[in-house]
Structure 1
Amino acid sequence: MRILFTAGGSQATVFSVAPLAMAARNAGHEILLAAEEPLLDAAAAIAIPAVPAPEPRMISARLDALLSLAEDWPPDLVIGGTMSHLVGVLAARLKIPYVRQAWDIGPMPPEFARRIDERIRPELDRLGLAELPGPALSIDVCPPSLRPAGAPDAQPMRWIPRNRQRRLEPWMYVRPKGRPRVLITSGTRTRLFSGGSMRRLVDELAGTGAEVLVAATDKTAEELGEDLGDVRVGWIPLDMVAPTCDLTVHHGGGATAMTVLNAGVPQLIIPENGYAKAIARAVSGSGAALTVPPEREDSDEDLVEVVAAGCREILSTPRYAERARAIAEEIATLPTPAEIVRTLETLAAP
């Protein structure tokens, strides 16, 4: 069986589809990932065969590129993310099943769905389709206890963390003795704090006796390195380091939130946008996190004080860690990607 996967927007979407893609490949199926040019390096870094596709906002060009790809490499099944409605159009044109896999914990905002429908309508007309086709199967990696009331039925799947790796050092997989560990990360596209503000936050956390790690791109690490003294700062493999932490402070990225939940670690979330706010509400509502109110318009200095106070509360209040561990246990009971592959095989059976 040939399975065409799609990803778009950020490298986190590549990491999110990778476990199912690799499970299919390990089961003997052929896989291919179509993603924008900037994401191909991320796919190569985790051994996912990938080809370039135009950016999602270029609807006609992306659909034509996918149709052209299907002529050279005819798939038996296509899999796209929650927001990849164009993949449904492709599947209808090819007369093959379409599977929708949630990339992370975040629900699609209703207004976003409406905009997608409006943008795809010309493509439906062009291909002679009366309506946007629905998926043959929806896969959700969100823990069932965190799914919003009234969410459509979906096949649950266990979240398996996947990210770029580097040569491991013992500190990355060994929990420090006698002191808590706090990880700060803002993903690859944003920065939570400037250098001076980051130093103040690190000093505040160090004052609690915590060891502080700062996950950052090479460029950001170079900019922050001297300001943070002997704090470890740089590219950190989150899947390995998260289980050694007692708290993670982050920007509300879906893959980050899910990886930390999988590790059973509480979170303090500073949402960077509306999508991140939805993720923050879900995780904070579960009792496994605190959210710094996104509507705050304070200075960086005031924000540091609020974040530091939230970190102290989480580190000193056992219920956050207890709730995070309970969610990790729930995630561990869900069907693995390898089990889901068997369902995919029945969808594509002649």
Structure 2
Amino acid sequence: MRILFTVNPGTSIFQAMVPLAWALRTAGHEVRFASRPAFAEEITRAGLTAVPAGRDFDLGRILDWTGTNPFEDVRPGLPAPWDIIDTPGEVPWDVAVEKYERYVEEVEKPENFPLIGGLVEFARSWRPDLVIWEPLSCAGAIAAKACGAAHARILWGLDVFGVAREHFLRLMAEQPAQARRDPLGEWLGGYARKYGSEFTEDMVCGHFTIDQFPVSLQLEAAGLHYERMQYIPYNGPSTVPSWLWKKPERPRIALTLGITATDIFDGYTLDTQDVLDSLADLDIEVVATIADTEKAKLRHVPANARLLPFVPLHVLAPTCDAVIHHAGPGTLATVSRYGVPQIAVPYSFDEPRFADLLQDTGAAVRIPDGAVSGRAIREQVVRLLEDPSFADGAQRLRQEIERLPTPNEMVPRLEELTAVHRPSDEPRAVGV
């Protein structure tokens, strides 16, 4: 088969897709990874074949200019589209429509418009059998529709997109026909008609969804088809430092707050100095992956702390007794895979919901945003080290993850589903 992956530039999102791409490649399938031109080097560094499509576009710069963050609403009373999942029975129809109007105008259009034309051109030329796209690159769904390929979403976090869409469609069905509006469907439908077809709901959530999280760590839309597989960590090119070759002499606690906080946002939302100081008198080793920009803000480094800009988490996590993190999907999934107790201090998007689900498994504690302090984190570190129930919960979560198929084991299933959803094996139309 020919498989085309599509991703909008974003290192953490791309890294979550790499293991499946390599599983398909080593199974003998042809794999291409399409994104905007400036992201091609990131793709090729992972040993994959890049397709520079469309043109480059700095969404972050535009968001700074407009004062808008796609994951947080700046207008009181109008939450982001996925917030409908919190109170689905209380959202008025006009508010739900306005949410999706904003989502299309401020996220979908600027993220995907620069990619669509070039991506469709490539897809019609190369003619993939299957297109796999992540939730922020629905250009992949448009290209699949244009060339007649099967297509699937691959999730890198909670399926807030699919669940919100499910609630929106329910709300729309309750309205009189003349009042029904679907901003997302209208926008996608315009591209479907441009390339010779009509809008169908699979353009929003794929023919099926590849989910890299176990049931206990996921939200589901009842009407969608999910195929679960294990999350396999990929942290990019990395090496194992010599101090990680041997078992630590004291309990090791990792502190990692991800790359999004400094790459997209204005920095960490907790006081790193306060956290390090609060742990300084404990007989532990603290390994903190701190961005250089944040490290420069520190006044001093406690004797029991080792600060690094980067260390591969899939190498560090198995050596730890606990990990303090922001509940980012990749971080949370990696630590969970190795059965390590966790302390979650979430700050944006799906992280608070992820942290709640993680806490419910018994593998972690969540510190609410307003209660985060060095003292609170210290108390929870001591608690995790002294209470064996967290280690037990972490092992149960690890076992749940290990029961899921690996990306290699997922390949035959993807072959089957492609055959089901691809319109036919006959030559597909490539023109309008």
State the TM-score, normalizing by the size of structure 1. 0.86
Q: Which residue of 1 aligns with 2:76?
A: none
Q: Structure 2: how far apart are the matches of 1:183 and 1:116?
A: 41
CA contact (8 A) 1:262 1:331 kept: yes
CA contact (8 A) 2:251 2:285 kept: yes
Q: Structure 1: how far apart are the matches of 2:126 and 2:220?
A: 40
C-alpha distance after superposition, 1:256-305 (max 9, x if no partner) = 111111111122112121321121121112121212212x1x7xxx6222
The 5-angstrom pairing of residues 248-327 of structure 1 reads 248-294=323-369, 296=370, 303-327=373-397
Identify the match of residue 242 of structure 1 among 317, 330, 333. 317
Unpaired segments of 5 or more residues in structure 2? 58-107, 169-182, 262-266, 420-424, 426-432
**Does 2:258 match 1:187?**
yes
Identify the match of residue 300 of structure 2 among 227, 246, 254. 227
Q: How far is the alpha carbon of 1:69 from its aligned partner?
A: 2.1
Q: Structure 1: how far apart are the matches of 2:335 and 2:147?
A: 38
CA contact (8 A) 1:106 1:254 kept: no
Q: Which residue of 2 aligns with 1:124?
A: 192
Q: Structure 2: how far apart are the matches of 1:112 and 1:291?
A: 28
Unpaired segments of 5 or more residues in structure 1? none
Q: Structure 1: how far apart are the matches of 2:216 and 2:164?
A: 25
> Tell me, what secondary structure is at the counterpart of 1:99?
strand
Q: Which amino acid is 1:140 matched to?
A: D
Q: Structure 2: how far apart are the matches of 1:149 and 1:73?
A: 33
> Tell me, what secondary structure is at the counterpart of 1:187?
coil
CA contact (8 A) 2:116 2:139 kept: yes
Identify the match of residue 208 of structure 2 among 112, 137, 160. 137
Q: How far is the alpha carbon of 1:51 from its aligned partner?
A: 3.0
> Tell me, what secondary structure is at the counterpart of 1:274?
coil
Q: Which amino acid is 2:129 matched to?
A: D
Q: 1:329 and 1:343, CA in 2 relative to 1: closer, same or farther beyond 3 A?
A: same
Q: Structure 2: how far apart are the matches of 1:112 and 1:10?
A: 23
> Tell me, what secondary structure is at the counterpart of 2:300?
helix
**Does 2:234 match 1:165?**
no
Q: How far is the alpha carbon of 1:327 from its aligned partner?
A: 0.9
Identify the match of residue 398 of structure 2 among 309, 313, 328. 328
Q: Which residue of 1 aligns with 2:273?
A: 199
CA contact (8 A) 1:67 1:90 kept: yes
CA contact (8 A) 1:185 1:249 kept: yes
CA contact (8 A) 2:34 2:50 kept: yes
Q: How far is the alpha carbon of 1:17 from its aligned partner?
A: 0.7
Q: Structure 2: how far apart are the matches of 1:38 and 1:246?
A: 39
How many aligned positions are there?
341
C-alpha distance after superposition, 1:91-136 (max 9, x if no partner) = 1211111122222345437557867446434323434413332533
> Tell me, what secondary structure is at the counterpart of 2:288?
strand
CA RMSD in angstroms comes to 2.7
> Tell me, what secondary structure is at the counterpart of 1:207?
coil
Q: Which amino acid is 2:138 matched to?
A: H
Q: Which residue of 1 aligns with 2:217?
A: 146
C-alpha distance after superposition, 1:31-90 (max 9, x if no partner) = 111234564444333222223345654333322121122244332210012444332222
Q: Structure 1: how far apart are the matches of 2:37 and 2:321?
A: 36
Q: Structure 2: how far apart are the matches of 1:60 and 1:235?
A: 33
CA contact (8 A) 2:163 2:219 kept: no
Q: 1:254 and 1:97, CA in 2 relative to 1: closer, same or farther beyond 3 A?
A: same
Q: Which residue of 1 aligns with 2:415?
A: 345
Q: Structure 1: how far apart are the matches of 2:160 and 2:320?
A: 27
> Tell me, what secondary structure is at the counterpart of 1:249?
strand
> Tell me, what secondary structure is at the counterpart of 1:28?
coil
Q: How far is the alpha carbon of 1:224 from its aligned partner?
A: 5.6
State the TM-score, normalizing by the size of structure 2. 0.71
Q: How far is the alpha carbon of 1:145 from its aligned partner?
A: 3.2
Q: Which amino acid is 2:153 matched to?
A: R
Q: 1:110 and 1:150, CA in 2 relative to 1: closer, same or farther beyond 3 A?
A: closer
Q: Which residue of 2 aligns with 1:156?
A: 228
Q: How far is the alpha carbon of 1:30 from its aligned partner?
A: 1.5
The 5-angstrom pairing of residues 15-54 of structure 1 reads 15-37=15-37, 39-53=39-53
Q: Structure 1: how far apart are the matches of 2:278 and 2:373?
A: 12
Q: Quick check: which has more Rg, 1 or 2? A: 2
Q: Percent identity?
A: 28
Q: Which residue of 1 aligns with 2:8?
A: 8
Q: Structure 1: how far apart are the matches of 2:396 and 2:38?
A: 37
C-alpha distance after superposition, 1:187-218 (max 9, x if no partner) = 11214367xx3233123223221111111345
> Tell me, what secondary structure is at the counterpart of 1:33?
strand
Q: Which residue of 2 aligns with 1:89?
A: 142
